Structure 1
Amino acid sequence: MQITDIHATPGYSGFFFDDQRAIKQGAQQDGFTYDGEPITDGFDEIRQAGETLIVDIELADGTTHRGDCAAVQYSGAGGRDPLFQAAEYAPVVEGPVAEALAGRDATEFLANADLLEDLEIDDKRLHTAIRYGVSQALLAAAAATQGTTRTDVLADALGTEPATEPVPVFGQSGDNRYANTEKMFIKGVPVLPHALINSVEKIGEDGETLLEYVEWLTERSQELGPDGYEPRFHIDVYGMIGEVFGAPYDRDEVIDYFGALETAAAPYPIQIEGPMDAGSREAQIEAMVELRTGLQEAGVGVDIVADEWCNTFEDVQAFVDAGAADVVQIKTPDLGGIHRSGQAVRYCEGTETRAYLGGTCNETETSARACAHVALATDAAQVLAKPGMGFDEGYMIVENEMRRTITQRNREQTTETETETDEITADD
Structure 2
Amino acid sequence: MQIKDVLLAPGNGAFFYDDQAAIRSGATHDGFLYVGEPMTPGFTSLRVPASSLSVGLVLTDDTIVWGDMMGVQYSGAGGRDSLFDTAHISALTARVVAPRLLDVDASRYLYACAEVFQPFEHKRLPLAIEYGASQALLRAAAHLHRTTMSEIICDEFKLPLPKHRVPIYCQSGDAREINVDKMILKAVDVLPHGLINSRQKFGTDGQTFMEFVKWVAARTLQIGRPGYHPVLHFDVYGWIGQEIGLEPQSIADFICKVADTVPNFMLNIESPADFGSTQAQIENYAKIVSILDNRGSSARIVVDERCNTLEDIRLFAESKATHLVQIKTPDVGSIADTARAVLICKANKVGAYVGGSCTETDLSAQASVHVSVATQADMMLAKPGMGVDEAFSIVGNEQNRLLAMLNRRRAHTENVG
1:293-344 C-alpha deviation (Å, 9 max, x unpaired): 2223333321000111000000001111111100011110011110000000
CA distance in 2 between counterparts of 1:346 and 1:304 reads 19
- State the identity %: 43
Deviation at 1:159, TM superposition (A): 2.0
Matched, 1:319 2:316: yes
Distance 2:253 2:63 in 1: 59
Q: Give the stretch that moved more between structures: 131-140 or 295-304.
A: 295-304
Residues 298 and 10 (structure 1 numbering): CA distance in 2 closer, same or farther, change over 3 Å?
A: same
- Say if 2:8 and 2:56, in contact at 8 Å, map to a contact too: yes
Cα distance per residue 1:41-72 (max 9 Å; x no partner)? 11111100101001100111111101000211
Aligned equivalent of 2:293, options 268, 283, 296: 296
1:178-217 equivalences in 2 (<5 Å):
178-217=177-216
2:226 is paired with a residue whose SS is coil
Partner in structure 1 of residue 225 of structure 2: 226
Shift of 1:177: 1.1
CA deviations on 1:188-238 (whole Å, 9 max, x unpaired) are 101111111011110111111111111111111012222211100010000
User: What is the 5 A alignment of 1:107-146?
Assistant: 107-120=107-120, 122-146=121-145
Deviations 1:105-145 (A, max 9, x none): 2211111112233231x332211001000110000011011
Q: Deviations over 1:66-98 (max 9, x none)?
A: 100021100111111111111221122222111
User: 1:364 offset after TM fit, Å?
Assistant: 0.2
- What one-letter code is carried by the residue in structure 2 that aligns with 1:77? A
Q: Residues of 1 paired with 2:309 and 2:71: CA distance?
A: 13
SS in 2 for 1:348: helix
How far apart, in 1, do the equivalents of 2:255 and 2:123 lie? 42
Q: Do the aligned residues in 2 keep the contact of 1:162 with 1:376 (CA within 8 Å)?
A: no
- Consecutive unaligned residues of structure 1, counting only runs of 5 or more, are 421-428
Query: Larger radius of gyration, structure 1 or 2?
Result: 1
Match of 1:276, SS state, is coil
User: Which 4+ stretches in 1 moved above 4 angstroms?
Assistant: none
Q: Which residue pairs with 2:262 in the alignment?
A: 265
Question: Are the aligned partners of 1:117 and 1:336 in contact in 2 as well (CA < 8 Å)?
Answer: no
1:279 aligns with 2:276: yes
CA, structure 1 residues 114+51, in 2 after alignment: closer, same or farther (shift >3 Å)? same
**For residue 425 of structure 1, what is the aligned residue in structure 2?**
none
Distance 2:83 2:253 in 1: 38
Amino acid at match of 2:19: D
Matches within 5 A, 1:48-87: 48-87=48-87
Give distance in 1, aligned partners of 2:212 and 2:411: 47
Amino acid at match of 1:26: G
Match of 2:385, SS state, is coil
Question: What TM-score results when the alignment is normalised by the length of structure 2?
Answer: 0.97
**Are residue 341 (structure 1) and residue 338 (structure 2) matched?**
yes
CA contact (8 A) 1:387 1:394 kept: yes
Find out whether 1:15 has 2:12 as its counterpart.
no
Alignment: residue pair count: 417
C-alpha separation in 2, matches of 1:137 and 1:22: 35
Q: Structure 2 CA distance, aligned partners of 1:93 and 1:203?
A: 41
Residue by residue, what CA displacement relative to the aligned partner does 1:15-56 show, whole Å, maximum 9, x if unpaired?
Answer: 110011111111111111111111111111110010100110
Aligned-pair RMSD on alpha carbons? Answer: 1.3
The aligned counterpart of 1:397 is: 394
Gaps of 5+ in 2: none
Q: Deviations 1:263-288 (Å, cap 9, x if unpaired)?
A: 22221100100000111101111221
In structure 1, give the amino acid aligned to 2:322: A
Matches within 5 A, 1:28-43: 28-43=28-43
Aligned-partner Cα distance in 1 for 2:202–2:160: 41
What is the alpha-carbon distance in structure 2 between the residues aligned to residue 129 and residue 350 of structure 1?
27
